[in-house]
Amino acid sequence: MSKRLAECQLFPQFCKLEELEMVRVPSKSTLQDYENWLPQEKMKQVLDALTLALGDAEKAAEMGLEEALVMEVAYVDTTCLKANIHFPADWILMRDGIRSLIKTMTTIRYHGLKKRMPEPASFIKKINSLCIAMTAAHRKADGKKQKKNIVRLMKRLANTVKSHAQRYRDALYQEWTKTDWTRKQAEMMLRHFDNILVQLPEAICHVRERIIGERQVVSEKKILSLYEKEIHVINRGKHGAQVEFGNTLLIAEEASRYILAHELVEKQSPGDARLLIKHCSNLQQVSNHRLSAIGADRQFDSAATNKLLAKEKIYNGLCPKNPQELSRRMQEDEPLKKMLKRRAHWHP
């Protein structure tokens, strides 16, 4: 995030950093301090109390606002918080595992603990050559056969590296005093070893099933990243991003773009409509029961959400999925038309 703030002018403007005489972009350690400043439950209590204060005219004036925030209308949307990973092809994950183990063993050897094995750089050279061959195989007539042969060579190399890594892992556990590390530093390297050693056999199994066996792997069992655990395949069908990898983030904001509620879904998303149903009562609470309208895109439109909004006597500003219904309401329902234009960041 600190890098993105520095490289793109839009992000400092969004964070109001351009108003400072000197812009000091926060470092990664500072951002981590912000992340761990308060537990999630306590932070939610702080934000809810702040939201209620900003909706009160007297308290808002005390905090320096010219007027209280308008809490009558909420705009809800979801997006994908993308994970910082490359496209998770099975054989690339196997390559990542091999490279990670080799680099870890190289680091251990540099810090004083060595066991007999071929030069670590030779394994990196071999896996790079195999990756180049795999990339070029689809351009050849017998590409499918060549891919299967390359995967078998990758599998053999991965098992060889895994055996060396297991020896180094066991040696580090027992002989860590031979290095110049502290016990905590050694334990950190052991955790890194364990993370890759546990997942590498599964990655090998997946690439064998998909390329050699030509069988699909169930999405729930796929490894998307060796380092990021709670991420999912999100099929949003957007232009240029048919499939995204990460987590669903829900954001609800009021008319002046103050965020009323948010949720980062760590598990598989239950769907936009169910997320709205889940947060409807919370939006009522943080708005001090002044919420009178909710606007969102067509993914939130369902029989259950329409029924809930009617029950709570909240204006239904959800974009209808039915094209005929949308056309009718755009002609007859001026508030819906304005809310959809506002939600799409349209300006006259």
pLDDT over 90 at 186, yes or no: yes
pLDDT over 50 at 39, yes or no: yes
Higher pLDDT: 25 or 147? It is: 147
Q: Is 28 helix (H, G, I), strand (E, B) or coil?
A: helix
Q: What is the pLDDT of residues 257-288, one digit of tens each?
A: 889 889 988 888 888 999 999 999 988 888 88
pLDDT over 50 at 346, yes or no: no
Task: Quote the pLDDT of residue 18.
Answer: 63
- In which band, very low, low, confident or very high, does the pLDDT at 51 lie, cut at 50, 70 and 90? confident
Nearest-5° angle of CA 73, CA 78, CA 82? 145
What CATH number labels 90-221? 1.20.1440
State the pTM of this model.
0.74
For 70-83+232-343, CATH number out of 3.30.420, 4.10.860, 3.40.50, 2.60.40 equals: 3.30.420
Angle between helices 334-343 and 323-332 (to 10 degrees): 110
Give dist(CA 302, CA 274) in Å, integer. 9
Give dist(CA 41, CA 190) in Å, integer. 32
Q: Determine what percent of the chain is predicted with pLDDT higher than 70.
A: 95
Higher pLDDT: 127 or 9? It is: 127
The DSSP annotation for 159-189 comes to HHHHHHHHHHHHHHHHHGGGSS--HHHHHHH
Return the structure tokens found at 1: 């995030």
Extents of the domains making up the chain: 70-83+232-343, 90-221
Give dist(CA 106, CA 264) in Å, integer. 37
List, in order, residues 6 or more apart from 167 with CB less than 8 Å away. Answer: 115, 117
Query: Do the beta carbons of residue 245 and residue 83 sit within 8 Å?
Result: yes
Please tell me if the domain spanning 70-83+232-343 has the same topology as the one spanning 90-221: no
